[in-house]
Structure 1
Amino acid sequence: MIDNLLDSAKQVLNGNFQPKGFSIPCDGLYPFQWNWDSGFIAIGFSHYDFEKAKSEVKTLLDAQWSNGFIPHIVFHNESDSYFPGAEFHKSELSPYAPKDHKTTGLTQPPVLGFVLEEMYHIHKNKDEVLAFVKNHIDQVFNCHKHLYEHRDPKNEGLVYIYHNWESGTDNSPMWDEVWETMTDIPTYEFERRDTSHVDASQRPSNQEYNYYLHLIEIAKAHNYDDAKITELSPFLIQDPLFNAMLIKSNQALINLYEIIGGETEKINTLKAWNTLSKKSFNDKLYDKELKAYIHYDLRNDRPLRHVSSSSFSPLFASVPDADRAKEIIDNLMTVFGKEEFYLCASFDPNSDKFNPKKYWRGPVWINLNWIVFHGLKSYGYNELATRVKNETIELITKNGFYEYFDARKEIHESGSGGYGGNNFSWSAALLIDLLKKEN
């Protein structure tokens, strides 16, 4: 069975790899290159086609802005199957945007640091992978530098996101409270393309899209200037998932620079960022009553007190000490680990906002499960990590390589619990990685 799954996963990845050297997440629904998708895809390719893995990272970094910013979408090709496209985002408004690539002015969780380290560990030819790392590691460092210098207005070591799409958890119930603070939002005229590919009940609403577009319009009005966004955007969130990925990637860069040698100044800078970041993470983003890491609304100076799969991502970055990790993991099992649910739902199943079919409002996502799996392993919770791994494999075995999955076990008896895009790249890539890893 494992060999069949591996072959199927490789077919998905190979089918989504484009002639220009990048992968689409899936056909139709997502026709361009997405930032953190490409990172996870590169991990999968590293197990069997390292040239494609390298190309995945290189094509993304080719579109890096001159100030270090790495965008969340690169429009390598023309397509009318996705909105909003390049003509809406207008990255050329920024003087830092590349002249030869159309992109968005948003980013996504910064995974490339630990992706490079995963590639180094996976690929057998260490000289080949190290040569590739040497050529690109400074680009990733410059991205981190940009984030800390332009998105941390209080010098806390916690960077903000200015759009929910930057979180990666697009329509999480987390943002409902933020939308309530945004008044006089225009009603935009637009044609949704996503709902022509998948059931509209599984996707964000049109009203949510009005908020999404409004945030982009504010950034565009100021040519994507970070200082103006900091001053004016109604959406400034310190996100535990985004910051955990940054901390994890900082540590990966430290490890890789130490292998390369001769980069003491950058190593010391990365260590300083992580020391401050972890302290602020634990002081500000840990909710002792909820026993979970939460989001913080920087614009309105208030915590957003909800538990989501993002709450457990700091385990992956070694943010909590052992005692706090145990508290978090016990809570994971109490809130998300009931027998009737697969681990790990993207939002608190006990909440009245939980929706197990709707995008990031409740379904299980393979990339977050992969992050939680590694986090559990790093603290020695091997049995629970194995459960997350096995349930992830079971979801794909029963349904196929979907974008996300219903968290309720009963739904999968008929093989109809997979939602969103099918033949989804990171579901295939991370399944390959999980199958190749020993428990």
Structure 2
Amino acid sequence: MDTHKVMCSHYNTVVYDILFMKEDLQIEAQKILDENAQEGGFTIPSKGLYPFQWKWDSGFIAIGLAHYDMKRAQQEISSLLDAQWENGFIPHIVFHNESDSYFPGPDFHQSFLHPLASKKYKTTGLTQPPVLGFVLEKMLEISKNASSVMSFIKTHIDKVYENHRYFYTNRDIHNEGLVYIYHNWESGTDNSPVWDEIWETVDAPQYTFQRKDTTHVDASQRPSDKEYNLYVHVIEIAKKYQYDDQKIAALSPFLVQDPLFNAMLIRSNEALMNLYKRIGGNQEKIDYLTHHQEKSKARFNEKLFDIDLNAYIYFDLRNNKPIRHITSSSFTPLYAGIPSKDRAEKLIQVLLDRFGGEDQYLCASFDPTSELYNPKKYWRGPIWMNLNWLLYQGLKRYEYEALAERVKNESIELITSSGFKEYFDARKAIQEASGRGYGGDNFSWSAALFIDLLHE
């Protein structure tokens, strides 16, 4: 028997099995996005658990949709932008539909308190990381009909630009190029241990509320009632001052310059400048973005890079001190081209040393070497597909091709073993033993970004 032929035959069989499995999973991913689609042209993140439209979810969802249904991808973005406030603010949740399966809902948030809030939709008075600039750019890159997509971009790009103007006008209180978030939900990394030391300084009354998330998901995987009470408290303060940015900046106990949020703004600035140049004209807008981009990048490196940790961290504006924790957000500046090559190399070494051990999948949402690490609780340790996607893009940008390939392959492997869950256990032993995924089932951005990674 020819041993070489037998080995080759076995290898080819394995390859074909993997390819068929990926093809089946892509069909399943599309099915999830189709089943999560709603009247009004938007996609919910997960049935039951998240019944409305979320800002950065819609951005990532549009990337996946663009590969097989560009019209829906465009509807995803236009439906979100349709709820933009008159001052350029884009809320983190748009309550297109009625549902009693989520708290806090529209009656709690009361966005109408702000005089410039959307009159067409009920929304929150919070936002999320500004991803729409690079999402538009990515849609154009994916498109097989560039003229049609460019026409869509021409119609919608100014709304995204106005969102960026809103941030620099209202959220950059020191005029330094870095914007603040006033609630942990604005970070997108809701209950990260990063926020623990801030909450220790907050004396909140005890509120009465009925959570809905823990009726859909194991409570051990979700933020605690104590944490939720603090989240409610910060919103109550914002409501008291009618979501006025200046009063929030002066009085909110939570006021943070977040590396993920600011990196997404910087990356989206870059995308908007690229798109405006392709469109032609708009020099005044390009100049505005260029000015803020240069200032933002410089200050980001001066203020948010910790030379002892060799990583990007957070700054607590209310207590005027850095928050020295390393998270998956610490690596997102790579996607925005913020670090120098030398600094990027140091950052990658931290990624490998702390997050990339042989017993870990990349990339846990919180430092696995920390005593605060919890690999199965929401943003306190599990892997999230959107942060892995951002890391993958950043590694490619700095030409760490092998490491980028590892992140992509491990992301695909997690979905192959666990399904399209909301988040995933980073411990290889746990994954290999039980294929552990957590949170919501049939999660839209996990499906959407899986589709995009396959096409990469």
Of the three residues 346, 370, 373, the one matched with 1:351 is 370
Deviation (angstroms), 1:340: 0.4
Aligned mates of 1:415, 1:18 — CA distance in 2 = 33
Q: Deviations over 1:213-258 (max 9, x none)?
A: 0110011001100111011101110000000000000000000000
Of the three residues 113, 120, 134, the one matched with 1:100 is 120
AA aligned opposite 2:168: Y
Deviation (angstroms), 1:350: 0.7
Q: How do 1:291-310 and structure 2 match up within 5 A?
A: 291-310=310-329
SS at match of 2:38: coil
Q: Deviations over 1:80-134 (max 9, x none)?
A: 1000000000000010111110000000000000000000110111110000000
- For 1:379, the equivalent position in structure 2 comes to 398
Q: How do 1:33-48 and structure 2 match up within 5 A?
A: 33-48=53-68
AA aligned opposite 1:145: R
Deviation (angstroms), 1:412: 1.4
AA aligned opposite 2:176: E
AA aligned opposite 1:19: E
Aligned mates of 2:431, 2:31 — CA distance in 1 = 23
Of the three residues 106, 109, 129, the one matched with 2:129 is 109
**1:155 lines up with 2:171 in the alignment:** no
Deviation (angstroms), 1:413: 2.1
Structure (1 or 2) with the larger CA radius of gyration: 2
Deviation (angstroms), 1:414: 3.8
Deviation (angstroms), 1:379: 0.4
SS at match of 1:41: helix
Deviation (angstroms), 1:430: 0.3
Aligned mates of 2:161, 2:201 — CA distance in 1 = 35
Of the three residues 276, 290, 301, the one matched with 1:282 is 301
Aligned mates of 1:416, 1:381 — CA distance in 2 = 28
Taking only aligned residues, the RMSD between alpha carbons, in angstroms, comes to: 0.6
Q: How do 1:45-56 and structure 2 match up within 5 A?
A: 45-56=65-76
Aligned mates of 2:236, 2:85 — CA distance in 1 = 20
AA aligned opposite 2:216: H
Q: How many corresponding residue pairs?
A: 436
Of the three residues 412, 433, 440, the one matched with 1:421 is 440
- For 1:61, the equivalent position in structure 2 comes to 81
**1:400 lines up with 2:438 in the alignment:** no
Deviation (angstroms), 1:411: 1.0
- For 1:225, the equivalent position in structure 2 comes to 244
Aligned mates of 1:232, 1:12 — CA distance in 2 = 42
Aligned mates of 1:254, 1:306 — CA distance in 2 = 32
**1:134 lines up with 2:154 in the alignment:** yes
State TM-score, norm by structure 1: 0.99
SS at match of 1:20: coil
Q: Deviations over 1:131-187 (max 9, x none)?
A: 00001000000000000111111011000000000000000000001001112x111
Of the three residues 358, 361, 368, the one matched with 2:380 is 361
SS at match of 1:74: strand
Of the three residues 106, 111, 136, the one matched with 1:86 is 106
Aligned mates of 2:37, 2:442 — CA distance in 1 = 12
Of the three residues 98, 101, 121, the one matched with 2:141 is 121
AA aligned opposite 2:269: N
Of the three residues 155, 177, 182, the one matched with 2:197 is 177
SS at match of 1:296: strand
SS at match of 1:181: coil
**1:239 lines up with 2:258 in the alignment:** yes
State TM-score, norm by structure 2: 0.95
SS at match of 1:303: strand
Deviation (angstroms), 1:419: 0.2
Deviation (angstroms), 1:415: 3.7
- For 2:274, the equivalent position in structure 1 comes to 255
- For 1:326, the equivalent position in structure 2 comes to 345
- For 1:193, the equivalent position in structure 2 comes to 212
Aligned mates of 1:348, 1:163 — CA distance in 2 = 22
Aligned mates of 2:39, 2:84 — CA distance in 1 = 20
Aligned mates of 1:192, 1:221 — CA distance in 2 = 22
- For 2:10, the equivalent position in structure 1 comes to none
SS at match of 2:247: helix
AA aligned opposite 1:358: K
Structure 1 stretches of 4+ with a deviation exceeding 3 A read: none
AA aligned opposite 1:141: Y
Deviation (angstroms), 1:5: 1.5
Q: Deviations over 1:361-409 (max 9, x none)?
A: 0000000000000000000000000000000000000010000000101
Aligned mates of 2:431, 2:356 — CA distance in 1 = 17
- For 1:431, the equivalent position in structure 2 comes to 450
AA aligned opposite 2:177: G
Q: Deviations over 1:263-318 (max 9, x none)?
A: 11100111111100000000000001111000000111000000000000000000
**1:314 lines up with 2:338 in the alignment:** no
Aligned mates of 1:214, 1:89 — CA distance in 2 = 12
SS at match of 1:299: coil
Further displaced range: 17-26 or 35-44: 17-26
**1:266 lines up with 2:266 in the alignment:** no
Aligned mates of 2:155, 2:253 — CA distance in 1 = 38
Deviation (angstroms), 1:3: 1.0
AA aligned opposite 2:197: E
Aligned mates of 1:236, 1:103 — CA distance in 2 = 21
Aligned mates of 2:225, 2:447 — CA distance in 1 = 30
**1:30 lines up with 2:50 in the alignment:** yes
Aligned mates of 1:415, 1:194 — CA distance in 2 = 24
